[in-house]
Amino acid sequence: MKQLTTLHKQLLNDYQRDFPLSTRPYQDIAETLGVTEDQVLSAFTELNASGFISRIGPVIPPNHIGVSALVAMSVPEPKLQQVADIISAHPEVNHNYEREHRFNLWFVVIASDAEHLSSVIDEIEQQTAYPAMRLPMLDDFFIDLGFKLDLNNA
Protein backbone atom coordinates (compact mmCIF):
# COMPACT_ATOMS: atom_id res chain seq x y z
CA MET A 1 0.00 0.00 0.00
CA LYS A 2 1.68 3.18 -1.16
CA GLN A 3 -0.76 5.74 0.20
CA LEU A 4 -3.65 5.85 2.63
CA THR A 5 -6.99 6.25 0.90
CA THR A 6 -9.87 8.27 2.30
CA LEU A 7 -11.46 4.99 3.43
CA HIS A 8 -8.28 3.90 5.23
CA LYS A 9 -8.16 7.24 7.03
CA GLN A 10 -11.83 7.06 8.01
CA LEU A 11 -11.43 3.54 9.39
CA LEU A 12 -8.32 4.48 11.36
CA ASN A 13 -9.91 7.62 12.74
CA ASP A 14 -13.50 6.60 13.38
CA TYR A 15 -13.18 3.04 14.67
CA GLN A 16 -10.48 3.23 17.35
CA ARG A 17 -13.44 3.25 19.75
CA ASP A 18 -17.10 2.38 19.48
CA PHE A 19 -16.59 -0.47 17.04
CA PRO A 20 -20.06 -1.83 16.22
CA LEU A 21 -21.11 -4.75 18.40
CA SER A 22 -23.36 -6.65 16.03
CA THR A 23 -23.43 -9.81 13.98
CA ARG A 24 -22.26 -7.81 10.92
CA PRO A 25 -20.02 -5.00 12.24
CA TYR A 26 -18.21 -4.53 8.93
CA GLN A 27 -21.55 -4.17 7.14
CA ASP A 28 -22.60 -1.60 9.75
CA ILE A 29 -19.39 0.35 9.15
CA ALA A 30 -19.89 0.12 5.38
CA GLU A 31 -23.42 1.52 5.64
CA THR A 32 -22.22 4.39 7.83
CA LEU A 33 -19.40 5.27 5.41
CA GLY A 34 -21.36 4.70 2.20
CA VAL A 35 -19.19 1.86 0.89
CA THR A 36 -19.55 -1.93 0.61
CA GLU A 37 -18.72 -4.46 3.29
CA ASP A 38 -16.09 -5.96 0.95
CA GLN A 39 -14.42 -2.55 0.65
CA VAL A 40 -14.27 -2.23 4.44
CA LEU A 41 -12.83 -5.73 4.83
CA SER A 42 -10.27 -5.12 2.07
CA ALA A 43 -9.23 -1.80 3.59
CA PHE A 44 -8.73 -3.37 7.04
CA THR A 45 -6.73 -6.20 5.43
CA GLU A 46 -4.50 -3.63 3.67
CA LEU A 47 -4.03 -1.67 6.91
CA ASN A 48 -3.03 -4.85 8.70
CA ALA A 49 -0.65 -5.97 5.96
CA SER A 50 0.99 -2.53 5.94
CA GLY A 51 1.46 -2.47 9.72
CA PHE A 52 -0.96 0.38 10.42
CA ILE A 53 -3.01 -1.94 12.63
CA SER A 54 -2.12 -5.25 14.22
CA ARG A 55 -5.51 -6.41 15.42
CA ILE A 56 -9.14 -5.52 15.80
CA GLY A 57 -10.49 -6.40 19.20
CA PRO A 58 -11.75 -5.16 22.52
CA VAL A 59 -9.77 -3.44 25.22
CA ILE A 60 -10.82 -5.04 28.49
CA PRO A 61 -9.69 -3.57 31.81
CA PRO A 62 -7.05 -5.71 33.57
CA ASN A 63 -8.32 -8.70 35.55
CA HIS A 64 -11.99 -8.21 34.60
CA ILE A 65 -11.89 -11.34 32.45
CA GLY A 66 -9.17 -13.77 33.44
CA VAL A 67 -5.90 -12.55 34.92
CA SER A 68 -3.04 -10.48 33.60
CA ALA A 69 0.51 -9.53 34.47
CA LEU A 70 3.05 -6.96 33.42
CA VAL A 71 6.37 -8.67 32.81
CA ALA A 72 9.86 -7.22 32.30
CA MET A 73 13.01 -8.82 30.93
CA SER A 74 16.59 -7.74 30.59
CA VAL A 75 17.68 -8.72 27.09
CA PRO A 76 20.98 -7.87 25.36
CA GLU A 77 20.36 -5.35 22.57
CA PRO A 78 21.49 -7.69 19.75
CA LYS A 79 18.90 -10.28 20.87
CA LEU A 80 16.06 -7.84 21.57
CA GLN A 81 14.10 -8.23 18.31
CA GLN A 82 14.49 -12.01 18.30
CA VAL A 83 13.20 -12.27 21.88
CA ALA A 84 10.36 -9.80 21.19
CA ASP A 85 9.28 -11.92 18.22
CA ILE A 86 9.20 -15.07 20.39
CA ILE A 87 7.12 -13.25 23.00
CA SER A 88 4.73 -11.80 20.41
CA ALA A 89 4.08 -15.27 18.98
CA HIS A 90 2.14 -16.15 22.14
CA PRO A 91 -1.56 -15.38 21.72
CA GLU A 92 -1.76 -14.51 25.42
CA VAL A 93 0.64 -11.59 24.95
CA ASN A 94 -1.26 -8.36 24.47
CA HIS A 95 1.73 -6.26 23.43
CA ASN A 96 5.43 -5.82 24.14
CA TYR A 97 7.68 -2.83 23.96
CA GLU A 98 11.24 -1.69 24.47
CA ARG A 99 12.19 0.64 27.32
CA GLU A 100 15.42 2.46 28.08
CA HIS A 101 16.31 0.63 31.27
CA ARG A 102 18.23 -2.42 32.41
CA PHE A 103 14.87 -4.18 32.07
CA ASN A 104 14.45 -3.19 28.45
CA LEU A 105 11.67 -5.47 27.20
CA TRP A 106 8.22 -5.22 28.78
CA PHE A 107 5.04 -7.10 27.91
CA VAL A 108 1.54 -7.84 29.14
CA VAL A 109 0.24 -11.40 29.40
CA ILE A 110 -3.46 -12.20 29.74
CA ALA A 111 -4.71 -15.70 30.56
CA SER A 112 -7.83 -17.48 31.74
CA ASP A 113 -6.45 -18.15 35.23
CA ALA A 114 -3.31 -17.78 37.34
CA GLU A 115 -2.04 -21.26 36.47
CA HIS A 116 -2.26 -20.64 32.73
CA LEU A 117 -0.66 -17.20 33.18
CA SER A 118 2.26 -18.70 35.05
CA SER A 119 2.73 -21.46 32.47
CA VAL A 120 2.86 -18.92 29.61
CA ILE A 121 5.51 -16.86 31.37
CA ASP A 122 7.46 -20.02 32.25
CA GLU A 123 7.34 -21.08 28.60
CA ILE A 124 8.57 -17.66 27.46
CA GLU A 125 11.49 -17.92 29.89
CA GLN A 126 12.36 -21.38 28.54
CA GLN A 127 12.09 -20.30 24.89
CA THR A 128 14.12 -17.13 25.32
CA ALA A 129 16.56 -18.30 28.02
CA TYR A 130 16.02 -15.02 29.90
CA PRO A 131 14.36 -14.68 33.30
CA ALA A 132 11.12 -12.73 33.55
CA MET A 133 10.30 -10.31 36.33
CA ARG A 134 6.58 -10.56 37.11
CA LEU A 135 5.08 -7.30 38.30
CA PRO A 136 1.79 -7.41 40.17
CA MET A 137 -0.76 -4.69 39.53
CA LEU A 138 -1.06 -2.45 42.58
CA ASP A 139 -3.24 0.28 41.07
CA ASP A 140 -5.44 0.16 38.00
CA PHE A 141 -4.81 2.97 35.49
CA PHE A 142 -6.48 3.28 32.11
CA ILE A 143 -4.66 5.17 29.40
CA ASP A 144 -6.70 5.85 26.29
CA LEU A 145 -4.32 5.14 23.44
CA GLY A 146 -6.69 6.42 20.77
CA PHE A 147 -5.76 9.47 18.79
CA LYS A 148 -7.51 11.77 16.35
CA LEU A 149 -6.02 11.76 12.87
CA ASP A 150 -5.77 14.87 10.75
CA LEU A 151 -7.53 13.48 7.70
CA ASN A 152 -6.40 16.37 5.53
CA ASN A 153 -2.69 15.71 6.02
CA ALA A 154 -2.53 11.95 6.70
> What is the dihedral angle through the alpha carbons of 135, 113, 110, 49, rounded to the nearest 10 degrees?
160
pTM of the model: 0.61
Q: Quickly state the pLDDT bin for 28 (edges 50, 70, 90).
A: very high
Q: Which CATH architecture describes the domain 67-135? A: 2-Layer Sandwich (3.30)
Q: Per-residue pLDDT tens for 65-109?
A: 788 899 999 999 999 999 999 999 999 998 889 999 999 999 999
Distance, in Å, from the CA atom of 86 to the CA atom of 44, rounded to the nearest integer, reads 25
- What is the per-residue pLDDT for 143? 61
- CATH 3.30.70.3460 in the chain, residue ranges: 67-135
Contact 121, 70 (CB under 8 A): no
Distance, in Å, from the CA atom of 38 to the CA atom of 138, rounded to the nearest integer, reads 44
Q: Per-residue pLDDT tens for 98-150?
A: 999 999 999 999 899 999 999 999 999 999 999 999 997 777 666 666 667 66
